[in-house]
Amino acid sequence: MTSVLFVALVLAMAILVGLALVSSERGSGRRPRGWALVVGFVLVYLAVPALLATTGLLDRYDAMPAPALLLVLFLTAVTVLFAVSSLGAHLSSSIGLATLVGFQVFRVPVEWLLHWLAVEQVIPEVMTYSGRNFDIVSGITGGLLGVWLLRHKVSARLLTLWNVLGLVLLANIVLVAILSTPIPFRVFTEGRPNLLPSTFPYVWLPSFLVQLALLGHLMLFRRLRSASVTERDVAAGRTPPAIQ
């Protein structure tokens, strides 16, 4: 049941991302590119990791660099590059601010599923909110802040502080997860090792869900930066530059 719920969450988030990519192109004359982005997104973040995990190509941790960790590093680089690209800028500007913040609530069911995986002794407890994982705070506060943004304004400073906190908490659990895998320098040795990065369907946790959370934070930073630039230009009597 835990696996079924996990896959359902991944599919739901994939559909939402696909809709966001396509709708961001609506009216811009670039709809074919929107569908191409959806296909590329599915291949890179879902299909390829699933294929590598099911064929056992990721199931080696005894010697560095571990293939599973290399995959996560590669996908993280792809996520960062997308976020700083013109495509990332276009997507961040086309999504409502409340949605950009509030969608991080998906981290709450992720943490709940991690809790049950620990109960089932699939992962160590240190990776849950009973251990060193505080990522649920980002999900709860993101959901509440997103609802608040539907009817109220929030200062850019507060949004920046929240975004930094969420990014720090994300980095924390990623580090804990890596140091819980059976690598030669494993730090968290109590309980079962973390094999999620090389196990289907849980490979989608680091290859997709973590990347999605990271992308959300990076796009919010870009959105806040573009808003700051616009405000400065208006104050100086200049025409705001186009976001690139």
Residue 231 lies in a domain: yes
The alpha carbon of residue 132 and the mean position of all alpha carbons in its chain are separated, in whole angstroms, by 19
Residue 242 lies in a domain: no
Distance CA 63, CA 73 (A): 16
| Omega prior to 201 cis, within 30 of 0 | yes
Neighbours of 222 (CB within 10 A): 18
Over residues 121-143, the mean pLDDT reads: 96
Residue 36 lies in a domain: yes
Residues 46-74 pLDDT 10s: 999 999 999 999 999 988 899 999 999 99
Question: What is residue 226's predicted lDDT score, i.e. its pLDDT?
Answer: 76
pLDDT over 50 (residue 240): no
Residue 244 lies in a domain: no
State the average pLDDT for the chain: 88
Question: What is residue 70's predicted lDDT score, i.e. its pLDDT?
Answer: 96
What's the domain count of the chain?
A: 1
Percent of the chain with pLDDT over 90: 73
Q: How many CA atoms lie within 13 A of 136 on its CB side?
A: 16
pLDDT over 80 (residue 29): no
The alpha carbon of residue 164 and the mean position of all alpha carbons in its chain are separated, in whole angstroms, by 14
pLDDT over 80 (residue 232): no
Question: What is residue 168's predicted lDDT score, i.e. its pLDDT?
Answer: 97
Q: Can you give the residue range of the structural domain that contains 68?
A: 2-235
- Is the full-model pTM beyond 0.75? yes
Question: What is residue 100's predicted lDDT score, i.e. its pLDDT?
Answer: 94
Of 4, 37, 19, 56, nearest in space to 201 by CA: 4
Residue 219 lies in a domain: yes
Question: What is residue 39's predicted lDDT score, i.e. its pLDDT?
Answer: 86
Which has the higher per-residue pLDDT, 184 or 231? 184
Question: What is residue 34's predicted lDDT score, i.e. its pLDDT?
Answer: 64
Distances in whole angstroms, Cα of residue 223 to Cα of each of 43, 90, 101, 142, 169: 27, 10, 11, 16, 20
Residue 106 lies in a domain: yes
pLDDT-based confidence at residue 22 (cuts at 50, 70, 90): confident
Residue 81 lies in a domain: yes
DSSP string, 47-92: IHHHHHHHTTTT---SSSSPHHHHHHHHHHHHHHHHHHSHHHHHHH
Residue 241 lies in a domain: no
pLDDT-based confidence at residue 170 (cuts at 50, 70, 90): very high
Distance CA 185, CA 137 (A): 29
Question: What is residue 88's predicted lDDT score, i.e. its pLDDT?
Answer: 86
Torsion sign over Cα 34, 148, 209, 109: negative
Question: What is residue 242's predicted lDDT score, i.e. its pLDDT?
Answer: 35
| Omega prior to 65 cis, within 30 of 0 | yes
